[in-house]
Structure 1
Amino acid sequence: MRRVCAVTQDDPLAAPLLAELAVEYSSRYGGSADEVRRDLITYPAAEFASPDGALLVVVENEEPVAGGAFRRYDETTAELKRIWTAREHRRRGLGRFVLAQLEAEIARRGYRRVYLTTGPRQPEAVALYNAAGYTALARDIELGIGRLHPFEKYLVPGAPADAGEPGTYAGHPG
C-alpha cells in the first residue's frame, strides 16, 4: 500500500531520503557523505514547512521509498528541492509520482509556477523534468560544482511558456 506523508525535515521518515541524497550528491559532486548530510539536515527546516513549503515522503509497506520538497521562491513561484527515489525502488515511476504529488500541493498552496535547478551530473533528473513538461531556461547558473540547469513549469492553463529569466514573470502580476 502506498501513502504520501507530509513530514518535517527531522522526521524519521525523512532520514533515509536525506542520507541517500547525501551519498548520491557526494559521489557525483565530491565531499564526504557526512559533510553533505550535515548540510542537508542543518538547512533551515522552516523553508520546507507550511504554509510556504512542504516535504513529502512516499511510503510503501511502511518503508520510505521516494520523496521531495518545495519552498517559496517568490509570491507566485515554488522551488522544487530534494527529489529522491531510493536506489532499490528506481525505474518504477516513483520520481514522476513524487513530482505529480508536489505539483498538486504547490497548486493547492496557490503558486502558479514551479522553478528548479538540477546539477550537471544528474542526466536522469533532466530527463524526468523534460518528460514532465518542464521547460529548460536559456541560461545556466554557474556554481562551484559546475553549471546548474534551471527549469520552469507553469501550473496555470494558458500561462506563457517563455516568460523570461527567473524573477521576470511577464503576464503574471503579483
Structure 2
Amino acid sequence: MTSVARPPSPAAETTVIDVPVSDPRVKPLLRELGDEYAARYGGDARAELARYPDEEFTAPYGGVLLLLLERGEPVAGGAFRRYDATTAELKRIWTHSGHRRRGLARRVVAELEREAGARGYRRIYLTTGPRQPEARGLYLATGYTPLFDTEADPETIGPLPFEKHLHVTPRT
C-alpha cells in the first residue's frame, strides 16, 4: 500500500528553524530535490547539490538552512551562501512534493531574505534552471529582477539569473 502525503489542515502550524546542512531532517528534502533535478535535467544534475561544500552554508558568511516544519516533519527549506561582500546567493530552495501550492516556497524565500539582511547582505542573487518554470514564476512574483531576456527561450539561456536588492537593517 502506497502512502500519499495530504496537505495538512489550515490549522496545522508551520515553524521555521535554523539547522546545519548535516541535520538529518535536511536529507529527505535534498534527496527529493536531487531526484527532481535528475528527472528534469538528466542523471548528472544531482551533482549540483554537491557543487558547494556544506561549510559555505554556515555562519558567519553563509546562510543557515531553514526548514519549515509541520508537526515536526520538514516540508520546505532553503539556504544561502556568501556570493560577495554585499550579496547572498540563495540555493537549495525546496518544497516537499506533497506540500506544494500552499505558499511555503514564498515563506522560505522571505525567511532567507530576512536572515541574509540581518547578516548585512544588501542584495540577493540566485539562479534557477530553464526547466523549472515554477521557480521562475516564484522569483518573478516575489520581486526578483530577471538578469536575462524573459522573452527568450529559457533553454537557450541556461541557468536563469535573478537579483533583488534588500532594504533591511542589520542586527545590532
- Scaled to the shorter chain, the TM-score interval is 0.7 to 0.9
2:124 maps to which of 103, 111, 114: 114
Give yes or no for contact 1:78–1:115 (8 Å, CA) kept in 2. yes
Partner of 1:170: none
Unaligned runs of at least 5 residues, structure 1: 158-174
Which aligned pairs between 1:6-85 and structure 2 lie closer than 5 A? 6-31=18-43, 36=46, 40=49, 43-53=52-62, 54-85=64-95
The structure-2 alpha-carbon separation of the partners of 1:120 and 1:87, relative to structure 1 and needing over 3 Å to count, comes to same
Give yes or no for contact 1:18–1:41 (8 Å, CA) kept in 2. no
Give yes or no for contact 1:52–1:72 (8 Å, CA) kept in 2. yes
Give yes or no for contact 2:66–2:79 (8 Å, CA) kept in 1. yes
Distance (whole Å) between structure 1 residues aligned to residue 50 and residue 129 of structure 2: 20
> What is the count of residue pairs matched by the alignment?
151
Partner of 2:153: none
The structure-2 alpha-carbon separation of the partners of 1:85 and 1:132, relative to structure 1 and needing over 3 Å to count, comes to same
Distance (whole Å) between structure 2 residues aligned to residue 40 and residue 81 of structure 1: 9
Q: Percent identity?
A: 58
User: Alpha-carbon deviation of 1:41?
Assistant: 5.3
Secondary structure of the residue aligned to 2:60 is: coil
Q: Which runs of 4+ in 1 moved over 6 A?
A: none
Q: TM-score, normalised by structure 1?
A: 0.80
Secondary structure of the residue aligned to 1:111 is: coil
RMSD over aligned Cα atoms: 2.2
Partner of 2:9: none
Give yes or no for contact 2:49–2:92 (8 Å, CA) kept in 1. no
Q: Is 1:152 the counterpart of 2:167 in the alignment?
A: no
Partner of 1:133: 143
